[in-house]
Structure 1
Amino acid sequence: MLFTTTHQLDSLIDAYFTHIAGEYKLEPTTSRSKKAEPQKIWIRQPEPPTITGLILFLGIESRDAFDKKERRGKFAVILKRARLRIEAEYEKKLHQHTHGGAVFALKNLGWNDKDKADQKPMPRKMKIIVEGENAPPLAAAEGDVVM
């Protein structure tokens, strides 16, 4: 573990988010226009924030150890905020066209599609016909069954 104080942990978490933002240098464009913006040349590409990436960066030995520190102790509040920073990045991705990965990640972080208390089974009307003159013929395939 690379930290022993809350201040060290806070600084390391900020360093993690700075690190994953990538690193670039600005070079002048070859355009003759005086209004030409400098070109961004990436030295190290940006990375998405992840819980596992944060754990590795902090030098914590396992996901379980991270979860224990996050639940209680002097580092709990800081680690919970770090998790929220990561969740916020995934939440931003929900507004993009391809957001399936963000949905998956958020569900694994404890998010739900709907409150389970609000989910009620849809009532269905069924008419049971007993054998007899008014009984329809037996269905030949599953697709022939009407509900």
Structure 2
Amino acid sequence: MVRPLKFETAEELSERISEYFYSCDTNMKVMFTKEGDPIEVPDPKPYTISGLAYFLGTNRQTLLNYEEREEFVDTIRAAKARIEAFVEESLWVPKIAQGVVFNLKNNFGWKEQQDINMSGELEINVSLDDD
């Protein structure tokens, strides 16, 4: 039995994705002045694939599966590109760089590569001792 899609059109999905980014950008938190008065201050939330999926009421894998459907591919790729750009820019904050690298590798296909060039001759001597 095939479950019905949560979003019937790319426009509907795109609108909800825009709401997610807006909610991240406009997130506020309560702080207190020296006098103890509460004030709201901006506290933007980071963009994440899992955060977007949660906001949409689904999970990460289901969200990524939408990318495989022709009618949703551009919408999902645009959202992922915005999240990837945000994550990549976060590399400039040294304290969180390791987590950012993990995210880029696992969600966006980034790879680390090392090239080792060796030259010269290799000689291997093996001796067997009979006791």
**Tell me, what secondary structure is at the counterpart of 2:70?**
coil
Aligned counterpart, 1:68: 65
Aligned counterpart, 1:127: 123
Find the aligned partners of 2:106 and 2:125 in 1 and give their Cα distance. Answer: 46
Letter paired with 1:23: M
Q: 1:2 to 1:71 in 2, by over 3 A?
A: closer
2:13 to 9, 14, 18: 9
Q: Tell me, which stretches of 5 or more residues in structure 2 are unaligned?
A: 31-38
Find the aligned partners of 2:91 and 2:110 in 1 and give their Cα distance. Answer: 13
Find the aligned partners of 1:84 and 1:16 in 2 and give their Cα distance. Answer: 14
How high is the sequence identity, in percent, across the aligned residues? 33
Using the TM superposition, give the Cα deviation of residue 50 of structure 1 relative to its aligned residue in structure 2, in angstroms. Answer: 1.1
2:98 to 77, 97, 100: 100
Using the TM superposition, give the Cα deviation of residue 130 of structure 1 relative to its aligned residue in structure 2, in angstroms. Answer: 5.2
**Tell me, what secondary structure is at the counterpart of 2:40?**
strand
Aligned counterpart, 2:40: 41
Aligned residues: 116
Aligned counterpart, 2:23: 19
Task: Give the structure with the larger helix fraction.
Answer: 2
Using the TM superposition, give the Cα deviation of residue 2 of structure 1 relative to its aligned residue in structure 2, in angstroms. Answer: 5.6
**Tell me, what secondary structure is at the counterpart of 1:94?**
helix
Q: Normalised by the size of structure 1, how large is the TM-score?
A: 0.63
Alpha-carbon RMSD = 3.1
